[in-house]
């Protein structure tokens, strides 16, 4: 299997670390991760299975993660619109005119903006564990009481140079988001170690995405995505965006298909779901 890691120059200031896996002539899946996510969170084994299904898989370190450009913690010098532009820059650098875009959580918001603002660059859209950016969709439930309590509790910062302390922080931060029986601590700890080893500024990585300005598109009506093949995957135990968010997405985008993942929380769907996940993605991206 071909794997190529490169640095994409967005402008004079911003560099993104990008990895493409598989045949560059195959249909491209562009994976856009959630807040704080470097490419490491898209697990190698899952990516390889998608490549084996006949797809080129592209994942990248978003700003302030991994080996991409970082800003001082608490002071990101960019907006959500810049992160949308980053995805286009990645496709341009790889010579990909149109891609199957897959976004998870915050990445799902970026993916929705891509579809609305750069429709001609998408072949299909897949949204995982995310919420509609359309402001006309109202009345969706908030996060679970347990997760609210986690947010309200005081948390001390680790010594950012202490690998074990930072890994512990990442692991414990992810624990309340997982669904019942879906928290694999050993697997998550291995990912967290890789994240630490590849990240230039852990404090920025775990801070800056949460303080970005909300600069959504002027027209975020998701009904405009009529005709764009869309797949929505959402866990039934998501404590941040309860299942109603996924159902609202599927209702708002004409002809979107919804797959409910039993017992899955706000997380990359765990390995027990990968047979379903991979089959669904290959089938969805093969319809066009």
Has 266 been annotated as catalytic? yes
pLDDT at 288: 64
With a cut of 50, which residues of the chain have pLDDT below it?
none
The yes-or-no answer on residue 105 being catalytic is: yes
Instruction: Tell me whether residue 202 is exposed, middle or buried, using C-beta atoms within 10 angstroms of its C-beta: 0 to 12, 13 to 18, 19 or more.
Output: buried
Inter-CA distances, 111 with 198, 276, 280, Å: 25, 22, 18
Q: Is the dihedral of CA 178, 156, 61, 98 positive or negative?
A: positive
- Residue with the two structure tokens 């066009």: 288
What residue ranges in 144-278 does DSSP mark as E strands?
A: 230-235, 257-261
Count the domains in the chain.
1
Domain span holding position 182: 3-286
- Find, among 135, 3, 5, the residue nearest to 60 by Cα: 5
Query: Catalytic residue at 238?
Result: yes
Strands ordered across the beta sheet of 122-128: 3-9, 15-21, 56-60, 28-32, 99-104, 122-128, 230-235, 257-261
- Calpha distance 141→125 (Å, rounded): 24
Catalytic residue among 40, 61, 134, 238: 238
Six-digit token pair at 107?
């990445």
- Confidence at residue 281, expressed as pLDDT on a 0 to 100 scale: 98
Q: What is the pLDDT of residue 213?
A: 81
- Enter the tokens of residue 47: 């990516």
* Residue 4: predicted pLDDT: 87
Closest CA to 18 of 77, 93, 78: 93
CATH number at residue 272: 3.40.50.1820
If residue 18 lies in a helix (H) or strand (E), which one and from where to where? Answer: strand 15-21
Calpha distance 88→83 (Å, rounded): 9
Which of 38, 68, 70, 105 does the annotation list as catalytic? 105
């Amino acid at each position: 299997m071909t794997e190529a890691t490169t640095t994409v120059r967005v402008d004079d200031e911003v560099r993104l670390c990008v990895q493409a896996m598989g045949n560059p002539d195959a249909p491209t899946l562009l994976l856009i991760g959630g807040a704080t996510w470097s490419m490491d969170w898209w697990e190698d084994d899952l990516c390889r299975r998608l490549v084996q299904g006949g797809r080129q898989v592209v994942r990248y370190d978003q700003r302030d993660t991994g080996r991409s450009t970082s800003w001082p913690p608490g002071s990101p010098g960019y907006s959500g619109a810049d992160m949308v532009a980053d995805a286009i820059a990645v496709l341009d650098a790889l010579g990909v005119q149109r891609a199957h875009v897959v976004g998870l959580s915050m990445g799902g918001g970026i993916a929705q903006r891509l579809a609305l603002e750069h429709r001609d660059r998408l072949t299909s859209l897949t949204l995982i564990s995310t919420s509609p950016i359309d402001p006309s969709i109202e009345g969706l439930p908030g996060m679970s009481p347990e997760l609210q309590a986690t947010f309200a509790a005081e948390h001390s910062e680790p010594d950012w140079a202490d690998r074990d302390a930072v890994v512990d922080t990442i692991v414990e931060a992810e624990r309340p988001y997982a669904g019942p029986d879906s928290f694999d601590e050993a697997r998550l700890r291995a990912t967290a170690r890789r994240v630490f080893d590849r990240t230039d500024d852990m404090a920025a990585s775990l801070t800056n995405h949460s303080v970005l300005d909300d600069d959504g598109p002027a027209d975020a009506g998701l009904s405009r995505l009529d005709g764009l093949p869309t797949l929505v995957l959402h866990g039934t135990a998501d404590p941040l965006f309860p299942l109603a968010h996924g159902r609202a997405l599927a209702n708002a985008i004409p002809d979107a298909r919804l797959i409910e993942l039993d017992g899955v929380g706000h997380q990359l769907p765990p390995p027990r779901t990968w047979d379903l996940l991979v089959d669904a993605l290959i089938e969805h991206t093969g319809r066009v």
